[in-house]
Every structure is written in structure tokens, then in C-alpha cells.
Amino acid sequence: MPTAQCVLIIDDEPDIRELLEITLMRMGIASCSAVDVSSAIMAIKQQEVDLILTDMRLPDGNGLDIVRYVAETKPDTPIAVITAHGNMDLAIESLKSGAFDFVSKPLDVNKLRNLITQALKVKPPTGHQLDTGMHAKALDMGQSAAMQLLQKKIRKLAVSQAPVFIQGESGSGKELAARQIHTLGPRALGPFIAVNCGAIPSELMESEFFGHKRGAFTGATEDKQGFFQAAQAGTLFLDEVADLPLAMQVKLLRAIQEKKIRPIGTQNELDVDVRILSATHKNLDAMVEAGEFRQDLFYRINVIALTIPALRERTDDIPLLSQQILQRIAGNYELPMARLTAEAKKELHLYSFPGNVRELENILERAFALCEDDTIGAADLNLNSRYNAEPSPNEPAALAARADGVSLEDYLMDIERNVVEQALEATRWNRTAAAKRLGITFRALRYRLKKLGLE
């Protein structure tokens, strides 16, 4: 028989403790309490609890001390922090340190109940079993070292409510990673709404995100639910978030911070309970510096960053991915599964895949349609034309001829600048990784950046 759930309340204000205790009691949940950091840590050591609610300001420290302690000693126990109204910096810092979520004073009982309900799904009562089959299936992304590390990060991020910013090249699997974060987290039973921000006309964005009432504008013949409402109690994935116009970025920032939206044509705001995941293949840091993306919005969606490795960085996964793709294609067409010859496997291993997993899918689907006797050979892959059409990201482009009047020193500096820029672009301007890619020290790269005017 499962043990009753228990929540540890950490707050030195009797009124707040009483409000939390009454809320939990009405939800049928037991509670215990502590009034400062030292007594809280002692309580955490002595008993198992299913959730911890801590105030940020305590007599002998702050809630961040407890968040970090729990993250190190009991990472499976969710902890939520109570912050002063408007103190978003501390709230975000707590999320980065491992907090599940936060709630601001004055406490909204409905938001508090939602937070408690979501948090308790992270750690089911003793005697309840997780759907391990679902979890194993969700993480079937590859067996390379890079993907094992990524899967470990995804499991950790899934139990949090912190916004995650997913970086990676086009076709590398950013949406798949977002779906897995959703599937493995407490919102798994809620909706997962994926939005391609670059595919929405700017004049329709506010209506698409926040919805509208009938008659709000010409053509609004009926009430429309927006993305935020559709994702209620679930996850909203903003793909290609860099394509949002600046005017929409302001409205999105407010919706994320306040957890409220106002449909077009209404006067009342609606509370929304969604987790925000976002992604882009563009360099948002550079866009922020150029004034093309709001720094405050980037700060809010980039609480935790997750980088998806390119397929060329995990070639050991190509055989497994190829088999999965061919199985799916065969199932879609209700035909026997095709197999790859040894020569075809070798060709795939050597290819650079500038289009990543999406390109692999396209190559195999075309080869499946062209192959004979359910056998895909090297010729069926047609990679030779791709080699000629798409230079490898690991190789510099062909050198341009030196123009008349250009000195040899300037010509060589241009070549060096191009090579360095390619390395920086390939590593998303991670200087340490770029130096490693170029085969030089970090100090040498800094010298070249200064010399070439790329700082």
C-alpha cells in the first residue's frame, strides 16, 4: 500500500506556513515544517519527503542554499522556491541551481496548487512504478558517447519546469529532444504543442499565440484558441524562435514572465500553465548583440541550454539510426524492410551530412524507392552528387584567386579570417571548441581574433 505523500515547508513567517499547510491539507497531503536553513537541512537528512517548498529569504541564509544542497544530496526530490514579487533574477537563479519551479508572493492559491500537483508527479509515492517502457522508448536516440551524455541531460531537465533553450544545426533533432523532455517529465499526459515561429505571418502572430474573440477584427468569425491555451498543463515548443519579430518578442516575454495572456478582443487576462521550450539553428548571442533579438527575452528562455550534436560528430549512431529509419519507411509503405550493403554503410559513415538526421532520412527514403530486391547499395544512395554539390563543413571552401593590387599579406589574412570564421560558426562561437577544431591553443586563437578584427 503506497505511503502518504509529505511536503516539507521551509519559511520563517507563521502566516505563510499556515497558508501552505491548509492548502496541502485540503489536497490530502501531509506536511512538516522548518524555519531556517539549518533546521531545514536537518529535516531533509532525517526524513524522506516528496516535495520541498522553501522561501527565498530565511534568517540564516536563503533558499538557494537549500536548492543547491538538495540538488547535490537528493536530486530526485523536487524543490520549489517562494520569491518576492518581481524578483525574477533570483527566481531564474533558483531554476539554474536545480529548482523545479517558483511561485511569487503574494501567493496565488490556484497557482500554488498547480505547482504542487505538477511537482508531486516527479516523485511518485512509494509503491508506484514509473512507466519505464515509455521512458526507454523515448530515449532511443543513439548509443554514441555524445548521445549518452545528451540523454542523461534530457532526463535531468525533464523533471524541472525551467525553460530550456535547445541549440543545434538544422535537421539535428531539436524537436525530438524537446518531445523527450516533455515525455519524461510530469507534464507527459498534457499536450505538446510545437510551433514553427518562422512560418507564421507577422500580422497573425498575436492571434496565433494568444487567441482571439469572435468579432475582434475583420475575418474573426469565431472564437479562436491560441497556442498558449492549447498547451495548457503541457509544453509549448517554440521552434526557430529567432524568427520572431521584435514586437512579438515583447508580448511573448510578458506572457512567459506573468504566466498570463490576453486574447485579442477581450479585457480579461487568462492564467496559463505551460512549460516553455525553444530552439533555433541561428546564433542568438550574435543576434542579441546586433539588436535583432531582445536580451531580456533571451535571458528568460535561455535559463538552461541544451546542445544537440551534429550527425557528423556522432557517426557511430548512423547504423542504428539507419535501421530505425528503414523500419519506419517500410512500415509506412507496408513493404519488407530494405537492408544496407557493407559498401552502402561505409559510404554513409564517410559522408559529412550537412543536413544531419533529416538529410539521412531523405537519402534513405529515396534509396528505398530506387533499390532492387530490398537491398540498398552504395549507388542507390547517390552520395557522389551530394559530395560535389555540398562541401563538407569540416573542409574550407576553394580558395579565391588573388585579385590584382591585393598584397600577399592581405590575401593571406583574408584566407585566415575565412578559416577562423568557419570554425567559429561550426562551434556556435564557442572559442574553446573552435581552437580545438583549428588545432591551436585558446591563447593563439585569441591572438588571431584580435589581429583579424574578429573580437
316 band by pLDDT with thresholds 50, 70 and 90 = very high
| Residue 257 one-letter amino acid | Q
Residues 124-143, mean pLDDT to the nearest whole number: 49
Taking 70 as the threshold, does the pLDDT of residue 404 lie above it? no
Residues 411-422, mean pLDDT to the nearest whole number: 82
Residues 252-274, mean pLDDT to the nearest whole number: 90
Supply the pLDDT for residue 4.
Answer: 75
Distance CA 80, CA 55 (A): 9
CB contact set of 401 (below 8 Å; sequence gap of 6+): none
Taking 70 as the threshold, does the pLDDT of residue 132 lie above it? no
Taking 60 as the threshold, does the pLDDT of residue 147 lie above it? yes
Grid-cell match 507564421, residue found: 200
Greatest mean pLDDT among 152-161, 216-225, 246-255: 246-255
15-19, 25-29, 144-148, 412-416: lowest mean pLDDT where? 412-416
Q: Are 63 and 135 in contact (CB under 8 A)?
A: no
53 band by pLDDT with thresholds 50, 70 and 90 = very high
Maximum C-alpha span of the chain: 86
Supply the pLDDT for residue 338.
Answer: 92
396 band by pLDDT with thresholds 50, 70 and 90 = very low
Distances (CA, A) of 36 to 15, 85, 249, 281, 407: 15, 21, 39, 44, 70
Taking 90 as the threshold, does the pLDDT of residue 229 lie above it? yes
Supply the pLDDT for residue 378.
Answer: 92
Residues 314-329, mean pLDDT to the nearest whole number: 92
> Is the Cα torsion angle 112, 114, 116, 119 positive or negative in sign?
negative
Supply the pLDDT for residue 1.
Answer: 42
Indicate whether this model's pTM tops 0.75: no
Taking 60 as the threshold, does the pLDDT of residue 399 lie above it? no
Which position has the higher pLDDT, 433 or 234? 234
Taking 50 as the threshold, does the pLDDT of residue 355 lie above it? yes
Kindly list the structural domains of the chain, giving each domain's residue range(s) and its CATH number in brackets, ordered by start: 6-121 (3.40.50.2300), 144-307 (3.40.50.300), 311-381 (1.10.8.60), 408-452 (1.10.10)
421 band by pLDDT with thresholds 50, 70 and 90 = confident
Rg (CA), the chain: 26
